[in-house]
Amino acid sequence: MFHKEGNQSILIACVLTVILMSTIWLVSIPQWMQISLSAITITLLFIILQFFRNPKRNTILSDSTVVSPVDGKVVVIEKVTDNEYFKGERLMISVFMSPINVHVTRYPISGIIAYSKYHPGKYLVAWHPKASEENERTTVVINHKNNNIQVMYRQIAGALAKRIVNYAQENDTIIQGNDSGFIKFGSRVDVYLPVDTLISVKLNQKVKGGESILATF
């Protein structure tokens, strides 16, 4: 299954693959070169198809857990000061996505969207300390029904990611694990939690969007 955000890219890639393959085998070049170029062309198509894949995830709905919004590796767990929405200290977990990860973004908890905003910005590498404040990004805050807890997540563009798709609209009622957007070509997502939240992951741990539990209330 492929994500709808990849429909146009996949169509273009398939058309270009057919054109290139036809050209490669029609022109007069050595057979070894034809085979090599064909292999490269098919490999590039495979990479694009892999990038836009959207595997089904089995989210176990729970009002006491925060699931990872994306696939990737936990690269930061620390207390930070959020200056955009909370204006105070929060516990931040950052998940870095490589180009080969699934790039679907999913809601970490169920609830109601309290805030959703897009910010234009730079394209620093995703692991840069200032990426969460200076890069192109979207910020989404969800009101959780559990003791008025609010969870914020931020999609952050990287050096390669030039397009962030965010489906979250303020006042929408959303379900944990459902599709909330897409980030093209590698980046990261930061999750901001109350400082007393119990963390369930470790640094460098690999996580799956919609399934791996980042923290519990």
The domain locations on the chain are 4-51, 65-209
Q: State whether residue 132 is helix, strand or coil.
A: helix
Region 65-209: CATH code: 2.70.70
pLDDT at 213: 96
Q: Which of 89, 84, 69, 172 is nearest to 121 (CA)?
A: 84
The mean-pLDDT minimum among 10-14, 110-114, 125-129 falls in: 125-129
CB 133 within 8 A of CB 192: no
Q: What is the pLDDT of residues 117-142, one digit of tens each?
A: 998 866 555 555 565 666 788 999 99
Q: Percent of the chain beyond pLDDT 90?
A: 55
CB 70 within 8 A of CB 101: yes
Residue 42 has pLDDT above 60, yes or no: yes
Distance CA 188, CA 56 (A): 21
Distance, C-alpha 106 to centroid of its chain? 8
Residues 6+ apart with CB under 8 A from 159: 123, 124, 125, 126
For residue 3, give both structure tokens: 């994500």
Residue 161 has pLDDT above 60, yes or no: no
Average pLDDT over residues 58-87: 93
Residue 217 has pLDDT above 60, yes or no: yes
Residue 51 has pLDDT above 80, yes or no: no
Average pLDDT of the residues of the chain? 87
The mean-pLDDT minimum among 24-38, 75-89, 121-135, 182-196 falls in: 121-135
CB 137 within 8 A of CB 164: yes
pLDDT at 7: 83
Residues involved in catalysis: 187
Residue 3 has pLDDT above 80, yes or no: no
Q: 10 Å Cβ neighbour count for 40? A: 12
